[in-house]
């Protein structure tokens, strides 16, 4: 992910933001997206902000425990108060308790890892996951953010938009994560048309080598913002197994949509 391009584009589009508040948020986003701690020079490269401004903001965020440093005090990462904020979002989301229940039922039926995610502009944000009982994964995907066009979750949600809305949401250049990522806009339009026609999305090794995924939008909002999915080894996503998973995903997505509408959640 090119954080500099993404940040610069958003700064251009979001005219009228309070500069210090925007810079604070962008610093936190850069640190959250980076797989390693960043030095002040690294933060400056990612954000493009003046070093003097960065130094003052980083010092303040460190004092407030929104970021923390390594033992040398020269490299920075997300701090514990950022976790508290993120946890509060999950705790207060009224749809999540119902999504958790559906994910438990879905995992029990299909036997694979299942997810619940929400579209965040051109990305999807994972809000809940239930790992396959055979999975050896020990790192939670909750809070993970991926480009929408590389995931079945994202494709299911992009398909809920008109093509004009899709173009307005996506960046000028589509990020490539694997050799199978659909990064051509004309090809992506065809992918989304197929999703609209059959009612569910399918991607094979577009986001992660060796993994395939089936997803369906949960349409309690219009357009839908949330979706559920099932991830499996790519070698198993064929024929009758794919049909079985697509049927299960769409049934459980409809069940969750009905429940959320009945509960008055919008």
Residue with tokens 């440093």: 69
Over its C-alpha atoms, the chain yields an Rg (Å, rounded) of 20
Write down the pLDDT at residue 140: 55
Closest CA to 222 of 183, 191, 249, 260: 260
Options 1.10.260.40, 3.40.50.12780, 1.10.10.10, 3.10.20.600; CATH of 3-82: 1.10.10.10
**What is the pairing mode between strands 75-78 and 123-130?**
unpaired
Write down the pLDDT at residue 135: 63
Tens of pLDDT along the chain (266 residues) come to 444 445 444 444 445 678 889 999 999 988 988 889 999 999 998 888 988 889 899 999 999 999 999 888 889 999 888 888 888 888 899 999 999 999 999 999 999 999 999 999 999 999 999 998 776 444 457 888 899 999 999 999 999 999 999 999 999 999 999 999 999 999 999 999 999 999 999 999 999 999 999 999 999 999 999 999 999 999 999 999 999 999 999 999 999 999 999 999 98
Q: Give domain limits for the chain.
A: 3-82, 93-262
Closest CA to 100 of 119, 128, 125, 124: 128
Options 3.20.20.80, 3.30.450.40, 3.40.190.10, 2.40.440.10; CATH of 93-262: 3.30.450.40
Which pTM does this prediction carry?
0.81
Closest CA to 69 of 30, 33, 40: 40
């Amino acid at each position: 992910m090119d954080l500099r391009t993404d940040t610069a584009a958003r700064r251009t589009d979001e005219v009228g933001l309070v500069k210090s508040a925007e810079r604070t948020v962008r610093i936190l986003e850069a640190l959250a997206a980076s797989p390693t701690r960043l030095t002040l020079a690294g933060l400056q490269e990612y954000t493009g902000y003046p070093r003097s401004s960065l130094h003052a903001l980083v010092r303040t965020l460190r004092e407030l425990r929104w970021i923390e440093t390594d033992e040398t005090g020269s490299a920075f990462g997300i701090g514990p108060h950022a976790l508290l904020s993120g946890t509060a979002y999950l705790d207060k989301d009224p749809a999540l308790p119902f999504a958790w229940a559906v994910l438990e039922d879905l995992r029990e039926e299909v036997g694979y890892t299942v997810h619940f995610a929400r579209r965040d502009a051109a990305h999807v944000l994972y809000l809940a996951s239930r790992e396959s009982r055979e999975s050896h994964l020990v790192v939670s995907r909750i809070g993970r953010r991926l480009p929408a066009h590389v995931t079945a979750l994202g494709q299911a949600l992009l398909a809920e938009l008109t093509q004009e809305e899709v173009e307005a949401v996506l960046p000028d250049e589509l990020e490539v994560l694997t050799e199978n990522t659909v990064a051509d806009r004309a090809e992506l339009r065809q992918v989304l048309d197929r999703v609209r026609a059959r009612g569910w999305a399918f991607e094979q090794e577009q986001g992660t080598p060796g993994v395939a995924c089936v997803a369906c939008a949960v349409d309690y909002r219009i357009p839908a913002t949330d979706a559920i999915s099932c991830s499996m080894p790519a070698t198993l996503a064929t024929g009758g197994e794919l049909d079985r998973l697509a049927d299960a995903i769409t049934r459980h997505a409809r069940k969750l949509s009905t429940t959320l509408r009945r509960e008055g959640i919008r």
